[in-house]
Structure 1
Amino acid sequence: MTTVRWRRWLAFAVIGAALTACGSPAPQPPAAAPPTPAPASAPTTSAPVTAVEGPLPRSGPVALEVPAIDVSTGPIIELGLTGDGALEVPGDAVTTGWFTGGPSPGQTGPAVLAAHVDYNHVPGTFNRLKDLKPGDEATVRRADGTTAVFTVYRVERYPKSAFPTEKVYGDTAGPELRMITCGGDFDRSTRNYEDNVVAYARLTRAYRT
């Protein structure tokens, strides 16, 4: 997405694309667990590795690995916006989603991946997102066969009522990643968390096997 188109999207996203529905709803029949994907970490020395210069062309993410918080997930679904301008959320605890209205991981700009902190009383993929620290890595395997590695530089928590759209979704000089989930206090009347947790990361290397 070009800078002009990205700015145009921001102008209409008045809600800030916060995750508004990221709590633990009433118990439901458990969904079947998706197949476990192959890890997105660096390949073994038996496979040839070719470094790739960023920024990368557009290509959807298919798997995510964040070793510091024991995340290894896939496949990754596509997310858009709800009717009131909030970011859609995955329908179960273990699925991660990519916001297709923004860049893909590795393109210039902030690519957005979202997952639950918990759902249906099951710990979510991003249950420990708040525990990430600067220097931790997030590895995204892409549909075109390239792997993008991002290094975390900041983790913040924001009230959903004051979600900083420009800070999270605004233009960046290079490829970046935003990992978003819910956090803070749980409001039992709405069955949702009051805050969002956002991890910020920059592309530090990319390769193809």
Structure 2
Amino acid sequence: MAGLLPGTSRLLRTGMGAAAVGLLLIYNSVDSAPADGSAPGQAAPPAAAAPAVPGGGAAPEAGSGSAPAAPVKAAAPLPRSQPARLRIPQINVDAPFTELTLNAAGQLGAPPPEDKNLVGWYRDGVSPGERGAAVVAGHVDTTKGPAVFLLLSLMLPGNKVEVQRADGTVAVFAVDSVETFAKDAFPDQKVYGRTPDAQLRLITCGGTYDKKRKDYLDNVVVFAHLESSHKA
């Protein structure tokens, strides 16, 4: 799913000390649907839909799933360092990072749709492992077929997410919960709000594909906390 995230104010920079900043919306998929109106990447099941971050509405309405469990053994936050590679063994993810930035309208761009095995990180936000909620987005599918976060909705509490960082460390996160939210009732504060420890948010599209909007109606969000770290 290519495109920009819907534009509304977001809390993306909370980990860097900024208050509410206009940003984050991850992929509207406005251009990625085939000409025949079918969902992009026919092999991708609707429930595991393409990557799109919050669609709007700041009301903290929960979607499916329970609220993220309080981290049990949260590790001490790490210094800031750019992420280099994301590995999630349970869903066979091993992908490099690209930096995501905001446009003049405060919208966060999506990773290039040409590369199906690529995840994006908002470079002006919290880095994975740093105190706060780091945001990582990836496509579920594109016009070229299934993409990196196709199976994100199948993750379970306790699953591990590894982020290899530029400083030579690997931040290991443990999944707390996996939730689905309607884009028109996306809980900005819950997903992007300040956190007392190092946390991670993995975001993609989900739910039903709307042929008229050329976009999925929901977002899948994985909530995780930093469990440990080690040298690469």
The answer, yes or no, to whether TM exceeds 0.5 is: yes
Tell me if the contact between 2:101 and 2:124 (Cα under 8 Å) persists in the aligned partners.
Answer: yes
Which residues in structure 2 correspond to 1:128-143 (within 5 Å)?
Answer: 128-143=151-166
Residue of 98, 101, 107 corresponding to 1:80: 101
RMSD, aligned α-carbons:
2.2
Residue 198 of structure 1 is matched in structure 2 by 221
Residue 111 of structure 2 is matched in structure 1 by 90
Q: TM-score, normalised by structure 2?
A: 0.71
Tell me if the contact between 1:22 and 1:118 (Cα under 8 Å) persists in the aligned partners.
Answer: no
AA at the equivalent of 1:66? I
Q: Distance in 2 between matches of 1:2 and 1:131?
A: 28
Residue 85 of structure 1: how far off its partner (Å): 3.5
Q: Distance in 1 between matches of 2:129 and 2:100?
A: 18
Q: Distance in 2 between matches of 1:187 and 1:136?
A: 31
Residue 61 of structure 1 is matched in structure 2 by 83
Tell me if the contact between 1:7 and 1:170 (Cα under 8 Å) persists in the aligned partners.
Answer: no
Q: Which shifted more, 116-125 or 53-62?
A: 53-62
Return closer, same or farther for 1:163/1:6 CA change in 2, 3 Å cut-off.
farther
Residue 104 of structure 1 is matched in structure 2 by 127
Tell me if the contact between 1:159 and 1:195 (Cα under 8 Å) persists in the aligned partners.
Answer: yes
Return closer, same or farther for 1:202/1:167 CA change in 2, 3 Å cut-off.
same
Tell me if the contact between 2:199 and 2:224 (Cα under 8 Å) persists in the aligned partners.
Answer: yes
Return closer, same or farther for 1:4/1:205 CA change in 2, 3 Å cut-off.
closer
AA at the equivalent of 2:112? G
AA at the equivalent of 1:85? G
Name structure 2 gaps, 5 residues minimum.
1-11, 36-74
Q: Distance in 2 between matches of 1:138 and 1:4?
A: 20
AA at the equivalent of 1:26? P
Residue 84 of structure 1: how far off its partner (Å): 3.9
Question: How many positions carry a matched residue from both structures?
Answer: 179
Identity %: 40
State whether structure 2 residue 181 is matched by structure 1 residue 158: yes
Residue 39 of structure 2 is matched in structure 1 by none
Residue 71 of structure 1 is matched in structure 2 by 93
Which residues in structure 2 correspond to 1:111-190 (within 5 Å)?
Answer: 111-190=134-213
Deviations 1:147-188 (A, max 9, x none): 000000011111111111111111111000100000111011
State whether structure 2 residue 37 is matched by structure 1 residue 26: no
Q: Distance in 2 between matches of 1:85 and 1:3?
A: 15
Residue of 9, 17, 22 corresponding to 1:12: 22
